[in-house]
């Protein structure tokens, strides 16, 4: 007897519709899937990893320098890092002096701000290519707050009891402005530290590219307008708040007939030279081992010309003046000034971090490593908070210096340490000989 083929048991089917000839007895399946959110996925998929986190790993996460410095390939990277650090340092020195003017504080505080935060970022930062220090946009925002809290009008003193002979006490004004900048930097650092500990590093993704570009362009306009009076050599008040650009332009053009011709010629010569050097660096960047340091050349040559031709004494060309020797001892900020600074400090904290993390992610993607957004927020906060006790102002990364640092072959944060030591050496050696015109 032959075996008869048997059919597999049929699955339960839905009732057929006799009126529809195309309706076969379809199989009905019931699929139940759990719904996961990010927190549940983290707890399920990385439960083992979290349980194995050791104290050493936590310290390494807080101090990223411990993760790369012990395995630093000295022979392969040291030459590139030293060259990159030297190239960045010669750019950072004149930028620190110039951006201090934007922040409405004496130029020497730009040197301090180019040393302490840079050194601290070496230990706490995760990006290998950004150059931390003074930046035009942030300096301009600080300057607006500083001038608002310590305007010139508060520091006029009367001589011989006459209103007509009132003179501006620049020493008292500058001391007060430094105190405002210190407190402002301390508050900004605290805000960034708190946001970093609360893991608010994601806030940068909500700043759209058009917003950042528009903000940067507007800041560039403010920078140009704020420097016109220095280029022309005229004396005007510094304005802050709404329509400050309009008021500044009006004040400059109302005194344009008093333009100091030697100051204008020297300034235009420096601008033309810097433009030519930038063009040469761009055209021959593949042939040049390092970019031509146009900024430091301008500082040295203009210093020699100003001193040799006695431009300050004979033609009233403004100079930076005396640069105090060495570094200052830490001091406590005057927190009685903090009540009016919190809102502005929050804005500067977000803007500074957003600029830094955006540039850091670009370099990380290009060179194949990762940066931790929350750690970067914490790093900027620690740099600003700790450095504020040494009389610095708020810092972030600079696009121009970061490009120099990356294009000259920098590999790790060792070049950053080299850069800040260059600034320190310049501050110790040049002393009051660094009398240059801006």
**Per-residue pLDDT reduced to its tens digit, 120-165:** 988 898 888 888 888 888 998 899 899 989 988 888 887 765 555 6
More confident residue, 387 or 364: 387
> Does residue 271 lie within any of the structural domains?
no
Q: Is 324 left (phi over 0), alpha (psi -120 to 50) or beta?
A: beta
Structure tokens at 3: 């075996």
Quick one: pLDDT band at residue 392, thresholds 50, 70, 90?
very high
Is residue 356 within 8 A of residue 130, CB to CB? The reply is yes
Residue 190 CA to its chain's centroid (Å): 16
**The pLDDT of residue 6 is above 60:** no
pLDDT mean across residues, the chain: 79
> Does residue 26 lie within any of the structural domains?
no
DSSP per residue, 33-65: -----HHHHHHHHSHHHHHT--HHHHHHHH-TH
Name the 3-class secondary structure at 11. Answer: coil
> Does residue 19 lie within any of the structural domains?
no
Cα–Cα distance measured from residue 301 to residue 254, given in angstroms and rounded to the nearest whole number: 32
> Does residue 15 lie within any of the structural domains?
no
Q: In this predicted structure, what is the pLDDT of residue 190?
A: 96
**Per-residue pLDDT reduced to its tens digit, 342-351:** 999 999 999 8
Of the candidates 190, 216, 149, 147, the residue with the CA atom closest to the CA atom of residue 345: 190
Cα–Cα distance measured from residue 230 to residue 296, given in angstroms and rounded to the nearest whole number: 19
Residue with tokens 């650090």: 85
DSSP 287: T
Cα–Cα distance measured from residue 292 to residue 61, given in angstroms and rounded to the nearest whole number: 37
> Does residue 250 lie within any of the structural domains?
no
Is residue 418 within 8 A of residue 81, CB to CB? The reply is yes
**Per-residue pLDDT reduced to its tens digit, 196-255:** 999 887 776 676 778 767 777 777 787 788 888 888 888 887 776 677 788 888 888 888
Domain total of the chain: 1
> Range of 350's domain?
72-157+165-217+342-435
- CB neighbour list of residue 206: distance below 8 Å, 6 or more residues apart: none
Mean pLDDT for the stretch of residues 92-119: 86
Other CB atoms within 10 A of residue 242 CB: 8
Cα distance from N-terminal residue to C-terminal residue, the chain: 111
Cα–Cα distance measured from residue 392 to residue 113, given in angstroms and rounded to the nearest whole number: 5
Q: In this predicted structure, what is the pLDDT of residue 415?
A: 57
**Per-residue pLDDT reduced to its tens digit, 49-65:** 444 567 777 788 788 88
DSSP 19: T
More confident residue, 291 or 153: 153
Quick one: pLDDT band at residue 405, thresholds 50, 70, 90?
confident
> Does residue 198 lie within any of the structural domains?
yes
| Among the ranges given (36-50, 209-223, 395-409), the one the predictor scored with the smallest mean pLDDT | 36-50
Quick one: pLDDT band at residue 388, thresholds 50, 70, 90?
very high
- CB neighbour list of residue 278: distance below 8 Å, 6 or more residues apart: 294
Q: In this predicted structure, what is the pLDDT of residue 10?
A: 47
> Does residue 361 lie within any of the structural domains?
yes
More confident residue, 416 or 172: 172
> Does residue 333 lie within any of the structural domains?
no
């Amino acid at each position: 007897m032959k075996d008869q083929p048997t059919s597999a048991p049929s699955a339960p089917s839905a009732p057929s519709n006799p009126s529809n000839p195309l309706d076969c007895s379809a199989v009905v399946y019931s699929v139940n899937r759990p719904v996961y959110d990010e927190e549940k996925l983290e707890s399920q998929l990385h439960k083992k990893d979290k349980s194995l986190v050791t104290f050493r790993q936590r310290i390494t996460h807080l101090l990223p320098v411990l993760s790369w410095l012990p395995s630093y390939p000295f022979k392969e990277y040291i030459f590139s890092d030293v060259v990159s650090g030297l190239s960045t340092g010669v750019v950072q020195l004149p930028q620190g002096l110039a951006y201090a003017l934007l922040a409405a504080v004496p130029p020497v505080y730009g040197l301090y701000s180019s040393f302490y935060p840079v050194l601290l970022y070496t230990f706490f930062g995760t990006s290998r290519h950004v150059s931390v220090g003074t930046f035009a946009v942030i300096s301009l925002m600080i300057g607006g707050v500083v001038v608002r809290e310590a305007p010139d009008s508060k520091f006029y003193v009367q001589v011989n009891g006459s209103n007509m002979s009132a003179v501006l006490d620049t020493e008292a004004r500058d001391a007060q402005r430094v105190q405002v900048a210190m407190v402002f930097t301390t508050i900004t650092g605290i805000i960034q530290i708190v946001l970093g500990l609360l893991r608010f590093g994601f806030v940068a993704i909500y700043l759209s590219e058009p917003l950042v570009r528009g903000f940067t362009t507007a800041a560039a306009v403010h920078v140009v307008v704020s420097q016109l009076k220095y280029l022309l050599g005229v004396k005007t008040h510094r304005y802050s708040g709404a329509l400050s650009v309009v008021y500044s332009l009006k004040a400059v053009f109302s005194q344009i007939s008093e333009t100091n011709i030697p100051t204008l010629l020297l300034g235009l010569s420096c601008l033309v030279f810097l433009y030519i050097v930038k063009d040469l660096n761009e055209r021959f960047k593949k042939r040049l081992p390092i970019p031509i340091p146009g900024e430091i050349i301008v500082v040295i040559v203009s210093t020699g010309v100003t001193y040799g031709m006695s431009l300050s004494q004979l033609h009233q060309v403004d100079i930076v003046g005396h640069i105090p020797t060495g570094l200052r001892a830490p001091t406590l900020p005057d927190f009685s000034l903090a009540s009016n600074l919190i809102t502005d400090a929050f804005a500067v904290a977000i803007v500074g971090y957003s600029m830094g993390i955006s540039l850091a992610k670009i370099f990380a993607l290009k060179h194949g490593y990762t940066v931790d957004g929350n750690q970067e927020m914490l790093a900027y906060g620690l740099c600003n908070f700790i450095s504020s006790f040494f009389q610095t102002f708020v810092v972030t990364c600079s696009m121009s210096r970061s490009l120099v640092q990356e294009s000259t072959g920098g590999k790790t944060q060792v070049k950053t340490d080299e850069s800040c030591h260059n600034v320190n050496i310049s501050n110790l050696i040049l002393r009051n000989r660094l009398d240059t015109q801006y």
